[in-house]
Chains A and B, each alone.
Chain A
């Protein structure tokens, strides 16, 4: 299995380290390393290739059209709107709690309590989407219906609130990590200048950790945007932009939910499939842009 017995196999020295030569193990590992690259490539390539017929037959109206009716029209705007709106609602609802919580846990809690709260948060980040969906349809949607006097609780607001609950632990733990990575001497210096503890936090720690916090928020956005099952169960499933557009009590449709409901109908077949893959491509580009921005911030956050 290993070519280590052969001294010739040793590669050149760099940075004081030896690299093994190109034995069979090298190529096996190289092949494995390319799996992720290949999977990402296949995914993007497939989505582009399969959505081309839809883009060609529908033209720009594919992105801007408001009407989606299988066999006639494929306009993606209601789904794009639904995805963006649900994600924005999720952020608006989750951010105050996630960031407030992160600051409190990072700056004011003793180490032991911190560890406990963080472990709980990480556990909750792992609760399956389908369980959140079950919670959403049993508790959240009926509650929204009663609280706001709607005729039905399945709405953009229900989807947004559910997504907010889902991403809260992720955003909170990652923001907390960012705050903890600010060196202690910054705080000590500020404290010695006579600032109160909260002043230190908001004038020193938070600004220093801002790129990391932004990264955490972007990762949360990506997760919210891609969630399928939980959203599918509470968003209402109507491919329509409400009027007025900010009426979050109306039902809507997000891209993943649309895919989850309709994909089985035309798996790999016809213009309908091409249009669905077009939606998939839009979703992929949106999440990639978000992930890219997030990683940019996270990398800046690391010294």
Chain B
């Protein structure tokens, strides 16, 4: 038996403690076999004794038990796979309220993790209610039986008097081209790259997207994220549902460009990613452990840790980003495909939006704002927990800035970052739309629908390690096989169908059959400061 010092780690120092009941355990081995973190293993009680003592004891007393490791490279993350597979409820992880984890293991550099920020628990949206109901004032609608027009623009919408129309005989005719606008479902599956996600997870989302379009009539779009796009998709008709992303790493873009002549259809759009709400100002980071051979093939990179810089090299101002990035990507697809831009919400977002609105080229097809409750596959914990800007007031400020200039609706506002994190994605979306959004995007939520067990209370969040126990955020084929693509996609489809019905349930009482963009009179807040800040009615 080794000497134990006070600085040595023990299980009770850790964030998660395995609650194990040897009396219930049937020694089937499922928990230890399925733990991708090697946080638990079988040990013989005999071998825990000093050798001399062990020899003198009766061997018949030997017991095999499951033991948790306190090795910092094999920490339990609370994922609960052991509990899932245990046939006798003999084992489960418990969050340790006495954890000393924050002061341990400092030799490994600053902590990283995936998931959402943990510190922002109280959300503005939860203090807002749909308080303006049609009660004798105007007819409400029947959510289940009336027909609704739930479509949102992606693309630069010209003011009516700026449309290049001329009268030709009895009809109107276009005399010049105008920016492309697609009217799509107000829910975009947001950008998570191949690499951050496993091939199966990414494909499940792509399948759900195509299914929603083809079998359910909902024009939902998915954004590729920047991790390359499979050749099989680039040359397929299904590309029409995909918004291609270009971020600062430009990963995979040479292969997208080489596929251009072979494309049978245009993609749904292009999204230029400047930043991400979960870790604003931080670039993408993909650990070498996740850059497996097929990821190297899809991204066109060697096996190494992949960093995306925090900014696009060569863009030094808003004007330049419009002129260079928007123009390049517009021309890449013949000015037929809407090109939008995504930024992390920031104190400066309104200035950026104003600048885009003044863009003389009319080639900015959307402003995507990502708030601090968004998720990520890998971030420095300090960034995840302490940087970012809540989405709600920032969206409101942008919308009001546009309204003050009479330019609202011309550059669609899409917002994300924590949509649905408290369970009511449709309510979140509806409130944000009433505050001025055209639509919303969800990313992390899709992972949860696919089976992710992580949460904002510190469970799992090991997306950055390549050991994702659900096969979602790993390239380890042993883990990826755990993900049932069909069931995962089915869950996403069901979620969207429910979202659709719930959105109608909220539209009906305010009497709107189309999206109530900017109808802030429909909202009230029971928080005075929030009501003041968002310019909505206070109610108590």
Query: Do chains A and B interact in one complex?
Result: no
Binding site for B on A (CB under 8 A): none
Binding site for A on B (CB under 8 A): none
